[in-house]
Structure 1
Amino acid sequence: MVPAAEGGIGPGILPCSAGFAMTGDTTRDGGGANTDAAKAVNTDADLSRRLSRLDQELGQRRAADARDKAADADPEAGPSPLARGFRLSAEFVAGVGAGAILGWLLDRVLGSSPWGMIVLLMLGFCAGIYNVLRAAGHLRSGTGPSA
């Protein structure tokens, strides 16, 4: 059993006034003087530096979020990818559908079944492809030469 140090509470118990602590506390210098005041000043300066750095990072993130929200709300940013996909598919289906309907009507009127349907369905397919390319921006909608 370890004998009690001076000012001890009981046998085998070492009080904090024994000169060391098991937690690695280095608040005492070699002369035994307490350096809590110096450590508090360093801690305050360190906390102040960290706080200012975090404040700057937070400001940058808030600015980036504001830019993202402004880009989302910008009407010139264009439609969403889902809306763009629906538009392109509707352009294609409308071309093929119009060709099929006109071919069927032409066959009924002229009695040229199935040739009107075949020819106009193929033309509708070509028109649908052309409309998709034009809507996607791969073709110009004007027919004249560019100046």
Structure 2
Amino acid sequence: MAGAENQSGAENGEQDSESIRRRLETLDGKLREAKGPSRPPVDTEGRGRAMGQAFKLSIELVAGVAVGGFIGWALDQLFGTKPILMVVFLVLGAASGIMNVIRTAKTMQGEPMPGHHLRTKAARDAVAKDDED
């Protein structure tokens, strides 16, 4: 700060603020170039929908196993065949859970279900038969 007491600073105030403004603008431009193009906005609604579908699939699988296990346990308690029916129904519950997950996943993807052409043909035939009557 040598010589600061000799100058008031009022004369160079506008020039200093103008040079600072120019330097800030150039710095801002350089920062924008360094950051690169801005990212596209995140689709939060689509992300939430996908997460909901994933939870739905996992709950269907777990529910199938849990219901099968509970039915097997209850039948084991009723008939006195301790582990046999529970194991059988756990396997059946797991199989039904997997089938539900596959069915739901195909529906979510918009793929036709197995036998879909038969159901739609039967529906068309029923409508055609009703029209004839």
Q: What range is the shorter-chain TM-score in?
A: 0.3 to 0.5
**Higher normalized helix content (fraction of residues):** 2
Tell me the TM-score normalized by structure 1: 0.44
* Larger RCO, structure (CA 8 Å, separation 6 or more): 2
Tell me the TM-score normalized by structure 2: 0.48
